[in-house]
Structure 1
Amino acid sequence: MSVSFIRRIATPKKALSTAAVAAATVGMALTSAPAHAATTASGADARSIARQMIPDAAQFNAFSNIVNHESSWNVHATNSSSGAYGLVQALPASKMSSAGADWKTNPKTQIKWGLDYMNSRYGSPAAAWNFWQANGWY
């Protein structure tokens, strides 16, 4: 070990400033992570994303009714008996991977998959809601 290295460690002021710079650098690296790296979205966030993705008020309300009943807008909602997962309770959950690799945590990906499912199977979120009301599932 060199004498200059030992001196740097032995000098408290330098050691503290070096630690502060290192901590600040780590902090900057953590705060500069992309926004999509977040794994938790509130129900209000998810609802806001859905509102942007579904501009028609009637279709949004129908979609919202289904999500309220299925998951209460919880991106991580899991049905313990069936394994259905996410905002729209996809079964199997992995089907949502067709909408994006971040399907486990991203409300936008789950909403996209749910809309595609409702449109392809029922014709629209409103028709899916009508089916849900008659059957208790969709």
Structure 2
Amino acid sequence: MTPKRVAIIGATVVIVFGGGGFVAYRAVENANAPRPEGLDLEDWGRIANGDLYAPDPEADQLKAAGVAAAKRKQLAAERKGVAALDPIIIEKKGPGGDGFPPANFPAGSDPSPGSNKATAKAMLASAGFGADQWGCLEALWQKESGWNERAMNRYSGAYGIPQSLPGSKMASAGADWQTNAATQIKWGLGYIKGRYGTPCGAWGHSQAKGWY
């Protein structure tokens, strides 16, 4: 056996047994290491055998944290120089009388709150109400529509002087309910009498609840 062959054999023995010893050492070390939750003996067996696809909860958590950090950084970069967002206010109900301009509604004479009030005041008695109810009715419909027969609430869609919802309910008092203040007032007085008894009863409910 030549000296060269002896050297090759010796190197092979060192590599085989040395490598095997290292693998065995790592296997023992891994077997004695604390086991994270979620890994069973089979999982640890794959890790000991060099299975790179074995589950690693700690690494998974680090990756997730890294992704979250990257997203935060990206978001911060995108928002740089942008003004803070305005808060969004969601109305629980539409404020009475805050309607669209009359031009957006059916054609008719220009709204005349003073004339409409006079009509309503004259109709009080025929609806069964005394003069003492006028102050409550005036305040109620001023709040609801400003006495504009073409007022529509932009939030709820309520329409007309009494803010009927929907407005088409007033058709029971007349086909011209969209433009005729007297028709709307007639319906509104009937609604108030049937539900609240008097204009002051309706006004009291409006003051307490914000609507009638």
* 1:20 paired residue number: none
Q: Look up the equivalent residue of 1:108 and give its one-letter code.
A: A
Q: Does 1:52 align with 2:122?
A: yes
Q: Look up the equivalent residue of 1:47 and give its one-letter code.
A: K
Q: Look up the equivalent residue of 2:143 and give its one-letter code.
A: H
Q: Does 1:110 align with 2:201?
A: no
Cα offset, 1:46, TM superposition: 0.3
Aligned residue pairs total: 102
Q: Look up the equivalent residue of 1:98 and give its one-letter code.
A: S
Max Rg structure? 2
Matches within 5 A, 1:28-47: 39-47=109-117
Cα offset, 1:54, TM superposition: 1.2
Q: Choose which of 115, 120, 124 in structure 1 pairs with 2:194.
A: 120
Question: Within 1, Cα distance between the matches of 2:132 and 2:111?
Answer: 24
Task: Please state whether the residue corresponding to 1:52 is helix, strand or coil.
Answer: helix
Question: Within 2, Cα distance between the matches of 1:77 and 1:41?
Answer: 9
CA RMSD of the aligned region, Å?
Answer: 1.5
Please report the TM-score for the alignment, with normalisation by the length of structure 1: 0.69
Q: Does 1:97 align with 2:171?
A: yes
Task: Please state whether the residue corresponding to 2:157 is helix, strand or coil.
Answer: coil
Q: Choose which of 159, 164, 173 in structure 2 pairs with 1:85.
A: 159
Question: Within 1, Cα distance between the matches of 2:169 and 2:110?
Answer: 20
Question: Within 1, Cα distance between the matches of 2:192 and 2:181?
Answer: 16
Q: Deviations over 1:21-63 (max 9, x none)?
A: xxxxxxxxxxxxxxxxx54340011001011011422212111
Task: Please state whether the residue corresponding to 2:183 is helix, strand or coil.
Answer: helix
| Structure 1 runs, 4 residues or longer, greater than 4 Å off | none
Q: Does 1:72 align with 2:146?
A: yes
Query: Contact 2:111–2:150 at 8 Å: present in 1 too?
Result: no
Question: Within 2, Cα distance between the matches of 1:41 and 1:77?
Answer: 9
Cα offset, 1:126, TM superposition: 1.1
Greater relative contact order (Cα < 8 A, sep 6+): 1
Question: Within 2, Cα distance between the matches of 1:108 and 1:39?
Answer: 13
Q: Look up the equivalent residue of 2:159 and give its one-letter code.
A: Y
* 1:133 paired residue number: 207
Question: Within 2, Cα distance between the matches of 1:72 and 1:43?
Answer: 7
Indicate the structure with greater helix content.
1
Q: Look up the equivalent residue of 2:203 and give its one-letter code.
A: W
